[in-house]
């Protein structure tokens, strides 16, 4: 039996309408199907203002969204994932325990993109054991720097 990809399954479906509501992004497709994802799935959009979120263009022949001012792109296939974020994960627990941690600065100290670290925090992506160790080592290093003050 041949496996069908999510893109093949949705054929020539394109983006017809997009809106934001209740901490989610919604998309109505050309096939009149409504899709929704939590903003946690797109950390750049989650942190953006309503005005910034609504300043998008539908591009790639209706297959993607582009936020020029945010330098963010979302392909239609991102809406096909029905898995919700898992906010009860180890990385999120660390950042909840220490709300004074600056995600941008921790990411910079690790040498990763803030968006990637945010996806770990929001439970969109799960860090590998090696990445989890890197997060902990970075936080230990930052703690040592604070203790030296």
Residues 82-94 have pLDDT tens digits of: 777 777 889 999 9
33 and 60, same domain (yes or no): yes
As a three-state string, the secondary structure of the chain is CCCCCHHHHCCCCCEEEEEEECCEEEEEECCCCEEEEEHHHCHHHHHCCHHHHCCCEEECCCCEEEECCCCEEEEHHHHHCCCCCCCCCHHHHHHHHCCCCCHHHHHHHHCCCHHHHHHHHHCCCCCCHHHHHHHHHHHHHHHHHHHCC
pLDDT at 139 over 80: yes
125 and 104, same domain (yes or no): yes
Q: How many domains does the chain have?
A: 2
Q: What percent of the chain has pLDDT over 70?
A: 93
Cβ neighbourhood burial of 108 (10 Å; 0-12, 13-18, 19+): middle
Q: Which two tokens stand for residue 12?
A: 């020539």
| Domain carrying residue 54 | 6-80
> Would you say the pTM of this structure is higher than 0.85?
no
* Residue where a domain terminates, one of 80, 98, 125: 80
pLDDT at 51 over 80: yes
* Residue where a domain terminates, one of 30, 58, 80: 80
Q: What is the CATH number of the domain that holds 41?
A: 3.30.2020.40
Q: Could you tell me if residue 27 is inside a domain?
A: yes
11 and 75, same domain (yes or no): yes
Q: Could you tell me if residue 38 is inside a domain?
A: yes
Q: What is the CATH number of the domain that holds 129?
A: 1.10.260
Residues 15-49 have pLDDT tens digits of: 999 999 999 999 999 999 999 988 888 888 988 99
Q: Could you tell me if residue 40 is inside a domain?
A: yes
Residues 69-128 have pLDDT tens digits of: 988 888 998 888 777 777 788 999 999 899 899 988 999 999 998 888 988 988 888 899
24 and 51, same domain (yes or no): yes
- C-alpha to C-alpha distance for 107 and 29, rounded to whole angstroms: 35
Q: Could you tell me if residue 1 is inside a domain?
A: no
Q: Could you tell me if residue 136 is inside a domain?
A: yes
Q: What is the CA radius of gyration of the chain?
A: 18
- C-alpha to C-alpha distance for 12 and 149, rounded to whole angstroms: 59
First-to-last alpha carbon distance for the chain, in angstroms, is: 63
pLDDT at 1 over 50: no
């Amino acid at each position: 039996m041949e496996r069908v990809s999510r893109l093949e399954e949705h054929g020539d479906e394109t983006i017809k309408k997009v809106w934001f509501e209740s901490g989610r992004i919604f998309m109505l497709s050309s096939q009149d199907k409504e899709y929704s994802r939590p903003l946690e799935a797109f950390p750049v959009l989650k942190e953006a203002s309503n005005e910034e979120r609504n300043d998008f263009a539908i591009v790639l022949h209706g297959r993607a969204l582009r936020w020029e001012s945010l330098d963010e792109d979302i392909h239609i296939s991102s809406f096909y994932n029905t898995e919700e974020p898992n906010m009860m994960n180890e990385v999120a627990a660390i950042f909840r325990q220490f709300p004074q941690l600056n995600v941008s600065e921790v990411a910079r100290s690790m040498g990763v993109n803030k968006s990637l670290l945010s996806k770990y925090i929001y439970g969109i992506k799960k860090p590998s054991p090696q990445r989890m160790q890197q997060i902990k080592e970075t936080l230990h290093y930052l703690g040592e720097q604070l203790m030296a003050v």
